Amino acid sequence: MGHTENIHGNTAAKWSVGKKIAFRIAFAFFLLVSIPLSSGWYKNLFAIDWLNPHYRDIYDIARYGTNLPPILFGSGRPNIADGEGQERPGQPKQKHDKKDVLKKAGAGPAKKDSNKAGPGRDSEQQRSRSWLSDYSSWGNALAIAVIIGLIWTLLDRKRPSYNVLYYWLTVIVRFRAAIGIIGFGYTKLFPTQMPFPSLGLLNTDFGDFTAQKIYWLSVGIVPWYQVFGGIVEITAGALLFFRKTATFGAILLIGALGDITFVNYAYDGGVHVYAFYFVLLGSFVIAADVPRLYNLLILERYTVPQFYYPDYSKPVYKYPRIALKGLAVFIFFGVLTYTEVINFKYDPYKQPSTAGVKILRGNYNVTEFKINGQLIPYSPLDTIRWKEATFEKWTTLTFRINRPVVVDPSNGGGSPMRDIQRTFEIAGTAGGQRAFHYYADTIDHVLYLQDKNALASGRTAFGGGREETESPKKQKEPDNWISAAAWKNIGDENRMLDKRAWSTRRDREFARPERDIKRARLILKYNTIDGNRVILTGINENKDSLYVVLDKVDRKYVLPESALHAGKY
């Protein structure tokens, strides 16, 4: 790339030594954070079935953070509360942590004091981690970049300037930021990232939610606002694709994502690093224009911008440029729009996709409750009886019991295909609220229910890993709590949603065996004429017999419901 291509001819010919060293380090650093370095990213990319795509295929291309080996700084403990988009810490470190936990658990009574100090230290570590050590992969990237930058300085001392390289680095950063934010923006443009609260959530007291949940819900109640947020993010992304508008896009990006970073800190949303990543990229994009604007507006001086811009009329540049831009536009505006529309209409990813039994849907009072034949009268203090129940639009039964359970602290996000793993309706929700996924045998009128909150089902271990990072347990005997005859009546969950939303990604996930997680299970026969009174009989997770009479209530909410509904139920 010679200087002859420079059509502006007004670039600074000679850079200072300091500027050159800073640039070399910055070049290596921004390249390291802008280019996907995890093998998982490439696996996803090559596994995509472009003829039967799923929105998540494209979203996963757009969504990656910094993934570097812990050269200088180890990653903090993995925490289930971290949201999607937050990069996962490296595997070796995690194993080490698990050992630590085991050691702690095995400590004898003689070490009681140090044991006691353990959790306190832990929580302190977690707190400090959420402010600084979360950025450890950036630290590692910087460490590598400094090494590269210094070696480069030794080898290339004579070069007067890096105007050309600077231009290309900006292009890479611009495109990285644009693609990333567009991936984010689309889940808001077709509002699925923050779902409208389900009946069970509407019936939960405000004070029974975690802060993270409160923020997500507060956006979920106004889908049009979410659409607006999506438009802002996508506009920022679209402006970043073009040199002339890139600075305006970057300013919008910094404003929006700077706010989201702060929101994530304030509400402990868990996506602060990924949000701040865009602020970092945006700041790099505007870096050259800031001093110019300062000169023009604040100092009120005549300003001559200096920059390199290749001559794109040359075929070497012209055709690859058209091809690459065209490809980016096709994938991130074309395919992504198509798959997101499908997702919004038939399979909103934070809500179960299977329609619930129609006649059952609604709010219910628990009129009668018998356990092992013993009638339990209503009392708000009773720790066994259900207080109220809902059948959601989808395959979920919720009820509330005045008994504390371990709250699912996650964001309820991710990309699970199976309805039971779509936990937004229970994540971050306390107050004794329970949510059970059901398979409905609508011929014999039986519901096969499983607790959506695995932590609530008495699993005492809580720590490190998310469900999916758990080590696979030994092969057990096949689980046949649902008979083959019943399965025939229930059908194939993979195929229960609208045909237009079928995809290869979904097929693959359903082809893998379900993760072995101990969940509370209920098998309940339902009996109703018109849905106004539903009688449930069966057994609960402790093999106690249950007899529950539910009476439908027409609960009027103050909260207005938007006309914009995700999903088809």
The CA-CA-CA angle for residues 445, 448, 454, to 5°, reads 155
- The residue range among 41-49, 140-148, 400-408, 537-545 that interacts with other proteins, by the rule CB under 8 A, is 400-408
* Stretch (H or E) spanning 248: helix 243-266
User: Minimum Å distance from CB 505 to other proteins?
Assistant: 30
Among 203, 343, 395, 423, which residue interacts with other proteins (rule: CB under 8 A)? 203
Q: Quick one: 216 or 439, whose CB is closer to other proteins?
A: 216
How far is it, in rounded angstroms, from Cα 177 to Cα 172?
A: 9
Among 134, 347, 388, 451, which residue interacts with other proteins (rule: CB under 8 A)? 388
Report the site for other proteins in 403-462 (rule: CB under 8 A): 404-407, 409, 428, 430-432, 462
Contact code string over 223-242 relative to other proteins, x by CB under 8 A = -xx--x--------------
Q: Does 155 bind other proteins (CB under 8 A)?
A: no
- The residue range among 186-194, 303-311, 354-362, 508-516 that interacts with other proteins, by the rule CB under 8 A, is 303-311
Q: Does 218 bind other proteins (CB under 8 A)?
A: yes
Contact code string over 29-58 relative to other proteins, x by CB under 8 A = ------------------------------
User: Minimum Å distance from CB 109 to other proteins?
Assistant: 22
Among 6, 187, 247, 339, which residue interacts with other proteins (rule: CB under 8 A)? 247
User: Minimum Å distance from CB 214 to other proteins?
Assistant: 5
- Residues 6+ positions from 173 with CB-CB distance below 8 Å: 30, 34, 281, 284, 285
Q: Does 563 bind other proteins (CB under 8 A)?
A: no
Q: Does 298 bind other proteins (CB under 8 A)?
A: yes
Report the site for other proteins in 312-371 (rule: CB under 8 A): 365-366
Under 8 Å between Cβ of 6 and 13: no
User: Minimum Å distance from CB 210 to other proteins?
Assistant: 4
Q: Does 503 bind other proteins (CB under 8 A)?
A: no
Q: Quick one: 126 or 540, whose CB is closer to other proteins?
A: 126
Q: Does 5 bind other proteins (CB under 8 A)?
A: no
Report the site for other proteins in 257-276 (rule: CB under 8 A): 259, 262-263, 265-268
- The residue range among 169-177, 293-301, 415-423, 508-516 that interacts with other proteins, by the rule CB under 8 A, is 293-301
Q: Quick one: 302 or 481, whose CB is closer to other proteins?
A: 302
User: Minimum Å distance from CB 220 to other proteins?
Assistant: 10
User: Minimum Å distance from CB 550 to other proteins?
Assistant: 11
Q: Quick one: 50 or 302, whose CB is closer to other proteins?
A: 302
Under 8 Å between Cβ of 495 and 426: no
User: Minimum Å distance from CB 269 to other proteins?
Assistant: 10
**Residue 243: count of CB within 10 angstroms of its CB:** 14
DSSP track, 515-561? P-----EEEEEEEESSSSEEEEEEE-TTS-EEEEEEEEE-PPPSSPP
Q: Does 307 bind other proteins (CB under 8 A)?
A: yes
Looking at the DSSP bridge assignments, the partners of residue 363 are: 390, 553
Q: Which residues of 454-466 are buried (b: 16+ CB within 10 A; e: fewer)?
A: bbbbeeeeeebee
Q: Which residues of 297-335 are buried (b: 16+ CB within 10 A; e: fewer)?
A: eeeeeeeeeebbebeeeeeeeeeeeeeeeeeeeebbbeb
Contacts 24+ apart (CB under 8 A), 165-172: 165/23, 165/27, 166/23, 166/308, 167/307, 167/308, 167/309, 167/310, 169/26, 169/27, 169/30, 169/31, 170/246, 170/284, 170/285, 170/288, 172/30, 172/31, 172/34, 172/35
Report the site for other proteins in 109-148 (rule: CB under 8 A): 119, 123, 126-127, 130
- Residues 6+ positions from 494 with CB-CB distance below 8 Å: 417, 502, 506, 507, 510
Among 555, 564, 565, 568, which residue interacts with other proteins (rule: CB under 8 A)? 555
Q: Does 212 bind other proteins (CB under 8 A)?
A: yes
Q: Does 567 bind other proteins (CB under 8 A)?
A: no
- The residue range among 145-153, 182-190, 250-258, 502-510 that interacts with other proteins, by the rule CB under 8 A, is 250-258
DSSP conformational letter for 429? B
Q: Quick one: 218 or 383, whose CB is closer to other proteins?
A: 218
- The residue range among 173-181, 380-388, 492-500, 509-517 that interacts with other proteins, by the rule CB under 8 A, is 380-388
Q: Does 377 bind other proteins (CB under 8 A)?
A: yes
> What are 215's two structure tokens?
């923020």
Sort strands 362-371 and 545-553 into parallel, antiparallel or unpaired: antiparallel
User: How many binding residues for other proteins (CB under 8 A)?
Assistant: 84
CA 45: distance to chain centroid?
A: 18
> What are 413's two structure tokens?
């996000």
Q: Quick one: 180 or 249, whose CB is closer to other proteins?
A: 249
Q: Quick one: 80 or 336, whose CB is closer to other proteins?
A: 80
Q: Quick one: 53 or 428, whose CB is closer to other proteins?
A: 428
Q: Does 378 bind other proteins (CB under 8 A)?
A: yes
CA 110: distance to chain centroid?
A: 43
How far is it, in rounded angstroms, from Cα 464 to Cα 95?
A: 10
The CA-CA-CA angle for residues 522, 523, 526, to 5°, reads 120
Among 204, 235, 351, 354, which residue interacts with other proteins (rule: CB under 8 A)? 204
Among 26, 61, 217, 454, which residue interacts with other proteins (rule: CB under 8 A)? 217
Among 156, 205, 470, 514, which residue interacts with other proteins (rule: CB under 8 A)? 205
How far is it, in rounded angstroms, from Cα 267 to Cα 257?
A: 15
Q: Does 21 bind other proteins (CB under 8 A)?
A: no
User: Minimum Å distance from CB 555 to other proteins?
Assistant: 8
How far is it, in rounded angstroms, from Cα 224 to Cα 410?
A: 25
Under 8 Å between Cβ of 240 and 178: yes
Q: Quick one: 110 or 558, whose CB is closer to other proteins?
A: 558
